[in-house]
Amino acid sequence: MDFGFTKEEEEFRQEVRGFCQKEVTPELIEDYEREAGYTPRIWEFLRKLGARGWLAPQWPKEYGGLESDYMKKFIIEQEVTRAIGVRQAVRNVGNGMAGPIILRYGTEEQKKRFLPPIAKGEVEYCLGYTEPQAGSDLAALELRAAEALVGKGEVLAEEKGGYFIMNGQKMFNTAAHYAQFHWLGARTDWENPKKHRGISLFVVDLKSPGITIRPMKTMSDLMTNEVFYDDVKLPKANMIGEMNRGFYYIMEAVDLERVTPSGALEHIFGEMLKYVKETEINAKPLSKDPWVRQRLAQLQIEISSARLLDWRIAWMIHNNTVPNYQSAMSKAYSTELVQRIYNTWVDIMGLFGQLQPGSKWAPLGGRIEREHRRSVIETIYRGTSEIMRVIIAARGLELPRE
């Protein structure tokens, strides 16, 4: 056993840490925390990461990677999220979800076209899976991609090659208002009663004619969107992998996607420690209050637990083992923990915990009140805690379905 890093890994960790000390400014953190979208500062930061190959370090060099092992990627994610305090600061839809599937199932032409901009931090993708009737039951999605082939007398017959005509509605597509591309799951077979066998994956330019993006305002600053497809024509060359295999590609990728870097939790907890030491009630620092001490110690225990579940996944992937129930466990645990952290913090603030950003008297600019509201979504998006437990029960414990 070894719960540490090798000398080389440790040196690399210091290098990333040094980079973060220089590049991560309070303004950048503020932009990330608001989660309203990528600001110019965030784009600039991503391009700096990309220039070092740190957005997709395991990818081949020709696509903008470093051909490194997984531990390097893990260290980058840990350190950057520790510096920023936001878990999706490095891993986004482009390099975390779309990219890996394109790398695995895309054609050479698609890889050359789509991967380098992701690795360089020039583009972001918007996840386009969820629909009004297809949430946890992803296989129920209905957005249609109808094939319009040359010579079949379809509207687009005069075009070279084949096209798809896309119609339907997506919702909760969070990055649609700032991403360049839609990473879209659409139905290509509506005859097959086995719904999961009729879904394909596409890369769609979000500026395509026929796409309408409508914002959905959330209970926090987080912005999300509905995306409507109205006779959008899409070249066949934008379909990734085999037709009707999309659901399988998605399922295969989610075990890798559900890695939630625990570095951010350490960042948040560090700020919390500072807050309780510096804030006085009754002329006594909060940190001297026995129940505050107990609750913070409990959070530290849980953060260490989340870190070790996260490490286990990194260790497995590093050793070429695909995590199975372990990713679902880590996702459920760490997201439930995020909610407990902010709930505890607001409680500790007492009456001040109610004050919102912009309020006079708001501690830490009201950030904690905002994060507390934002954290509601943690246990819902990217697979609800209940779906995670169903996965753990089936795969980790082999409990019967019926």
Partner 1 sequence: MDLALSEMQEMLKTTARDFLEKECPKSYVREMEVDEKGYKPELWEKIAGLGWLGLHFPEEYGGSDGSFLDLTVLLEEMGRACFPGPFFSTVVLSGLLVLDAANKQQKSDLLPKISSGELILALALTEPSNTYEPSGITLRAIPEGDGFVLDGTKLFVSDAHIADYIITVARTKEAATKEDGISLFLVDAKSPGLEATLLKTIGGDKQCEVIFDKVKVGRDNIIGELDGGWPVIKRALERAAIGKCAEMVGGGQQVMEMVVAYAKERQQFGRPIGSFQAIQFHCTNMLTDVDISRYLTYEAAWKLSEGLPHKIELAIAKAGVGDCYHRVVVTGHQVISGVGYIEDHDMHLYFNRAKAAELLFGSADFYREKLAQELGL
Please tell me whether residue 296 binds partner 1 under the rule CB under 8 A: yes
Supply 91's token pair: 């891993």
Maximal CA-CA distance, the chain = 82
CB of 318 to partner 1, least distance (A): 7
Binding mask 368-387 for partner 1 (x = CB under 8 A): ------------------x-
Q: How far is the CB of 335 from partner 1 (least distance, A)?
A: 13
Is the CB of 110 or the CB of 334 nearer to partner 1? 334
DSSP of 127-169: EE--BTTBSS-GGG---EEEEE-TTTT-TTTTSSS-EEEEEEE
Which range, of 97-105, 199-207, 255-263, 294-302, touches partner 1 by CB under 8 A?
A: 294-302
Q: Could you list the beta-strand ranges (E) of 258-365.
A: 280-281, 284-285
Which of 106, 12, 143, 91 lies closest to 331, judged by CA?
A: 91
CB-nearer residue toward partner 1: 329 or 355: 329
Eight-class DSSP state of 187: E
Q: Does 16 bind partner 1 (CB under 8 A)?
A: no
Residue 82 Cβ, how far from partner 1 at the closest point, in Å?
A: 17
User: Could you tell me if 398 and 391 are in contact, meaning their C-beta atoms sit under 8 angstroms apart?
Assistant: no
Identify which of residues 257 and 310 has a Cβ nearer to partner 1 in the complex. Answer: 310
Under rule CB under 8 A, how many of the chain's residues touch partner 1? 46
Q: 197 or 295, CB closer to partner 1?
A: 295
**14 forms part of the interface with partner 1 (CB under 8 A):** no
In whole angstroms, give the CA distance from residue 216 to residue 311: 35
User: Which is closer to partner 1, CB of 112 or CB of 277?
Assistant: 277
Backbone angles phi, psi at 276, to 5 degrees: -70, -25
Residues whose CB is less than 8 angstroms from the CB of residue 247 and which lie 6 or more positions away in sequence, other chains included: 138, 139, 185, 196, 197, 199
Q: Which residues bind partner 1 (CB under 8 A)?
A: 1-5, 71, 273, 276-277, 287-288, 290, 292-294, 296-298, 300-302, 304-305, 308-309, 311-312, 314-315, 318, 325, 329, 332-333, 386, 389-390, 392-393, 396-402
